[in-house]
């Protein structure tokens, strides 16, 4: 147990040093005060991206909750939940599911224009990741990918509004082959 503590302390020191060295070359990173964050959002999702999937009866609500930390102005890690159910065009049932995932977030604005003195109030964030998907209708688990783009607008030092266009992708989520659950979620992020 003692070795684990020393290893954890060494890892934290290394991470802090790496983050500081990356930030010291970035002009506005000195004023960067966004670390931990919590976000919640709601929107719509459909089961598929084929033309026959785009019908009203195939639309269902989407709900997301995330928490994470910006390690640098351009890179963050977060964990989250997406749910509750989706419809398919093959039946009228609600396919209840839980999707727990982890992702890396890459602020495209920061990675491209990180040396600018003035910080943009609008950001584009690319977020790839993977997680545990459990379809209660099938009563079986699955490992799925999640990928998307977040557009966010800063409304204060601690709040951002965002729209997240993303998709859960996996094999045999609900129809026996490759499946995609795209969603569009509008929400708010709180920094603390």
Answer whether residue 31 shows pLDDT above 50: no
Q: Which stretch of 17-21, 160-164, 187-191 has the lowest confidence by average pLDDT? A: 17-21
pLDDT tens, residue by residue, 32-70 = 557 899 999 999 999 888 777 778 888 999 999 999 999
User: Residue 151 forms beta bridges with which residues?
Assistant: 124, 163
**The model's pTM:** 0.77
Residues in contact with 137: Cβ distance below 8 Å, sequence separation at least 6, in sequence order? 93, 95, 96, 97, 174
Q: Which two tokens stand for residue 110?
A: 């920061």
Determine the pLDDT at residue 16.
42
Identify whether the C-beta of residue 60 lies closer than 8 Å to the C-beta of residue 87.
yes
Determine the pLDDT at residue 67.
97
Gap between the Cα atoms of 157 and 60, Å rounded: 33
Computed over every residue of the chain, the mean pLDDT equals 82
Residues in contact with 83: Cβ distance below 8 Å, sequence separation at least 6, in sequence order? 62, 63, 96, 97, 98, 99
Beta strands in 48-139, from DSSP E residues, in sequence order: 59-70, 75-86, 95-107, 122-135
pLDDT tens, residue by residue, 76-126 = 999 999 999 988 877 888 989 999 999 999 999 888 886 665 567 899 999
Determine the pLDDT at residue 90.
76
Q: Which two tokens stand for residue 71?
A: 């390690």
C-alpha of 165 from chain center:
10
Residues in contact with 32: Cβ distance below 8 Å, sequence separation at least 6, in sequence order? 23, 26, 70, 73, 119
Angle at CA of residue 94, ends 66 and 44, nearest 5°: 45
User: Residue 15 forms beta bridges with which residues?
Assistant: none
Q: Which of 192, 188, 190 is closest to 33 using CA atoms? A: 192
């Amino acid at each position: 147990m003692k070795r684990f503590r020393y290893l954890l302390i060494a890892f934290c020191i290394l991470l802090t040093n790496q983050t500081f060295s990356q930030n010291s070359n970035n002009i506005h990173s000195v004023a960067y005060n966004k670390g931990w964050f919590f976000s919640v959002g709601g929107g719509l999702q459909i089961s598929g991206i084929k033309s026959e999937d785009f019908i009203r009866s195939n639309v269902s609500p989407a709900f997301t909750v995330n928490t994470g930390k910006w390690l640098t102005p351009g890179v963050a890690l977060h964990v989250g939940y997406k749910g509750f159910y989706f419809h398919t065009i093959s039946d009228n049932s609600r396919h209840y599911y839980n999707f727990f995932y982890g992702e890396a977030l890459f602020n495209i604005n920061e990675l491209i224009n990180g040396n600018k003195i003035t910080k943009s109030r609008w950001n584009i964030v690319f977020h790839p990741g993977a997680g545990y998907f459990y379809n209660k209708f099938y009563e079986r688990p699955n490992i799925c990918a999640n990928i998307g783009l977040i557009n966010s607008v800063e409304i204060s030092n601690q709040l951002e509004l965002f729209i997240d266009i993303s998709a859960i992708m996996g094999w045999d989520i609900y129809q026996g082959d490759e499946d995609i659950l795209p969603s569009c979620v509008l929400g708010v992020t709180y920094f603390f």
